[in-house]
Amino acid sequence: MKITKKKVIYSLLVLLTSIGVIWFSYHTYEKQYYRQFSQYSGKAKIDDYEMIADGAGVIAHWKSVTPEEDQKKKEYGGSLNLRRIQVGAHHILRSNIKLKDSPYYYEEHPSKDEYWTLSLYKIEGKKLKEEQEIDLYKIVEDFDSNYIPTELGAIYSSNGRELAALQIRSLKDPTIRKMMFLDLETHKLEQNDRLTEQVYGKKPIVQLYVALDKDQGSLEYLPLDDGSFSIDPKELSKTQFKKFSKAYQLLEQKDTKVMVLNPKNSADQYSRSISVFELFMKKGMNLYHDVTIPAELSRDGQTHTTQTKEEFDHYYDLEKAHKVYNEID
């Protein structure tokens, strides 16, 4: 049978059209698939780090373990969950999220393609040990199958243990919510009235009124409540890290975070935080200038405004603060 030139051209056109239709259909499917996940962070692990400030902080580089999916999500759009890291003195958590809606609005358990997990690291001396990934939905389901997680809060300390605050909500009645705490050693949920009071109640705090000079440091503000922060590599010359040090090299990389290793209710949070922040300032910057210690946290029950670290250590009552912040019974 003689094959004409027209038949060859026609066959090629049919083949190319079919390929185009298949590609367009797959592209459309892929676009719809990734756009349905309005909450997305992907998954990441720490691949390198450096402890700083005598163990009060750590500089860590996070590397994605879902790079292809991250790229697809970026390409097709949708919001990202940006506040992902929670830090304690002995644990670091990163929320890994892939959800079709905010956790607040779910009326049933998520589909198999969705997840909300935690990358968990345990701090042992000056080493980070990667622990088993935690599936939040499974943790809550094992506790009570009629509840789902809605919000992960900070890490708190209680009598030597570290627990992450986790709000859960009833699937039967969305108005019913409970504040639970996830023990980061046992991975079990529990209620803790003293820590719940710490989450919702107002506690006295030390006030730092330091006016930061942009020429003297790399921080625009002191991120006391954030737990982690990053800096512009262009600002590294305003830090105390030497150019060829590991810390400096880590800070030059994208996706590097500085984490201050403090539970939310740590009595020692102020001095530990300042010891980290000082490294991101030029030498000589005094972060204890005009620091106000409230009467509830001072040794003599009086309010004091300090100018130096020595003054702060003299007036700040660490043992009293442990009890005020419910770190110990």
* 8 Å CB contact between 67 and 240: no
Query: Per-residue pLDDT for 12 more than 80?
Result: no
Higher pLDDT, 224 or 329: 224
Burial class (CB in 10 A: 0-12, 13-18, 19+), 99: buried
pLDDT interval class at 31 (50, 70, 90): confident
Look up residue 319 and give its two tokens.
């043992």
Please report the pLDDT score of residue 1 as a whole number. 47
For the entire predicted model, the pTM comes to 0.89
Query: Per-residue pLDDT for 28 more than 80?
Result: no
Query: Per-residue pLDDT for 25 more than 90?
Result: no
pLDDT interval class at 11 (50, 70, 90): low
Q: Which residues contact 29 (CB under 8 A, 6 or more apart)?
A: none
Closest C-alpha to 110, from 171, 62, 198, 68: 171
Please report the pLDDT score of residue 23 as a whole number. 57
Q: Where are the domains of the chain?
A: 39-200
Over residues 84-93, mean pLDDT: 95
Higher pLDDT, 271 or 20: 271
Burial class (CB in 10 A: 0-12, 13-18, 19+), 194: middle
Which range has highest mean pLDDT (70-74, 208-212, 318-322)? 318-322
Please report the pLDDT score of residue 166 as a whole number. 98
pLDDT interval class at 44 (50, 70, 90): very high
